[in-house]
């Protein structure tokens, strides 16, 4: 097999290494003026694929033709923030976005119930 395909794979891997480092998972600390330190924490997902084939030579002295490709992708998803204040550490989770209509309804339910309760309470006060 030609040396071109492993070279393509190595190049794709190197580019992914350049994009993702430890700061992609545990972010750089952010310090606020009042002394609170916030550290972002993320999940990193990496996808990688490559394929290739040596094609047959045609004619005397023909170069060895190669077909192939390689690629990859990186997805960084925020998980939480570590909040450090006065020596105490607190974790604040980042909620995942709703993926379906049912998920959106479940997310909206507490706010809707709160509004409905406030509306009914205001009507009772007006009647009284």
Identify the band that residue 118 occupies on the pLDDT scale cut at 50, 70 and 90.
Answer: confident
Residues 25 and 81 in one domain: yes
DSSP state of 64: -
**How many independent structural domains does the chain possess?**
2
Q: Give the Å distances, CA to CA, from 93 to 28, 42, 52.
A: 17, 11, 43
Residues 91 and 106 in one domain: no
Residues 66 and 80 in one domain: yes
Q: Residue 11: left (phi > 0), alpha (psi -120 to 50), or beta?
A: alpha
- Greater pLDDT, 69 or 86: 86
Q: How many CB atoms lie within 10 A of CB 42?
A: 16
pLDDT at 67 (0 to 100)? 73
Residues 59 and 106 in one domain: no
DSSP state of 95: P
Could you tell me the residue range of the domain that residue 35 belongs to? 4-95
pLDDT at 59 (0 to 100)? 61
Q: Give the Å distances, CA to CA, from 91 to 73, 81, 82, 88, 108.
A: 29, 6, 5, 10, 23
Residues 64 and 108 in one domain: no
- Greater pLDDT, 20 or 86: 86
């Amino acid at each position: 097999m030609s040396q071109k395909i492993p070279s393509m794979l190595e190049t794709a891997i190197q580019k992914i290494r350049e994009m993702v480092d430890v700061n992609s998972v545990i972010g750089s600390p952010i310090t606020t003026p009042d002394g609170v330190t916030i550290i972002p924490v993320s999940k990193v997902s990496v996808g990688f694929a490559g394929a290739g084939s040596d094609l047959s030579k045609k004619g005397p002295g023909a170069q060895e033709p190669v077909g192939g490709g390689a690629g990859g992708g990186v997805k960084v998803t925020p998980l939480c923030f570590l909040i450090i204040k006065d020596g105490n550490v607190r974790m604040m989770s980042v909620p995942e976005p709703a993926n379906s209509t049912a998920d959106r309804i479940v997310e909206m339910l507490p706010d809707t119930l709160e509004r409905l309760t406030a509306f009914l309470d205001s009507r009772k006060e007006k009647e009284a």
